[in-house]
Amino acid sequence: MTEDTQTPTISEARTRILSEIGGDVTLVAASKRQPEERIEAALEAGQRVFGENRVQEAQSRWASRRANCSDLQLRLIGPLQSNKAEDAVQLFDVIETLDREKLLKALIKAVEKTGVAAPDLLIQVNTGDEPQKGGVSVDGLAALLAAAQETYPGQVSGLMCIPPADEPAAPHFALLKKLADQHQLKTVSMGMSGDYALAARLGATHVRVGTAFFGARDY
């Protein structure tokens, strides 16, 4: 295989992103559809926090690695179906995409049934009110949060958003940060390859970076 010498290595990309976001922000490497050798390179570079979009892909990638890597942290950043809740709570430390009460109930049931430590939860907010997109509406956030705090106390630690692709991200980041402050939630997950530095300036505690970290996805 020929390497393009202009392409930064994963280690170089990681160092650059870390310097851009500053020491208080956690870099979540969004590893969906990345080849195995890049996952290995990321681990070798010291990356330990990974975001995955699909439960099944994450299981095949991480189930065995998890056993040998005690400081690994896995975060589910893609939509979760209630019928996958049991698999999800057994694999992920954090689930960033809680967006409805039905899923909350399924997660509580899954934790009780499997006996695993309850994952931290973030509520995904559909800040752009986009139809067909994941996330609770801005208007629905308070009710979902109240339900979670009543039935699953202390587990919701923050908020997550994916701004509409065709709009400037800054207003969405500012809104998510404002909502988190209003509800006294400390974790704010926002910003991807094109806008992680902006998100960090606007109050992100976690940025989720895929292609700018790993390079283009496989498919």
| CB 165, min distance to ligand PLP, A | 10
List the one residue out of 51, 16, 103 whose CA is nearest residue 209: 51
| CB 191, min distance to ligand PLP, A | 8
| CB 9, min distance to ligand PLP, A | 17
Chain residue whose CB lies nearest ligand PLP: 210
Q: What is the binding site for ligand PLP (CB under 6 A)?
A: 30, 32, 53, 77-78, 162, 192-193, 208-212
Please say which residue, 180 or 210, places its beta carbon nearer to ligand PLP: 210
With vertex at residue 157, the alpha carbon angle to CA 198 and CA 155, rounded to the nearest 5 degrees, is: 155
Helix (H) or strand (E) holding 170: helix 170-182
Please say which residue, 106 or 190, places its beta carbon nearer to ligand PLP: 190
**Amino acid letter at 117?**
A
| CB 106, min distance to ligand PLP, A | 20
Q: Say what the alpha-carbon torsion angle 161, 166, 167, 172 is, to the nearest 10 degrees.
A: 0
Please say which residue, 167 or 184, places its beta carbon nearer to ligand PLP: 167
Please say which residue, 18 or 108, places its beta carbon nearer to ligand PLP: 18
Concatenated DSSP letters of 11-38: HHHHHHHHHHH-TTSEEEEE-TT--HHH
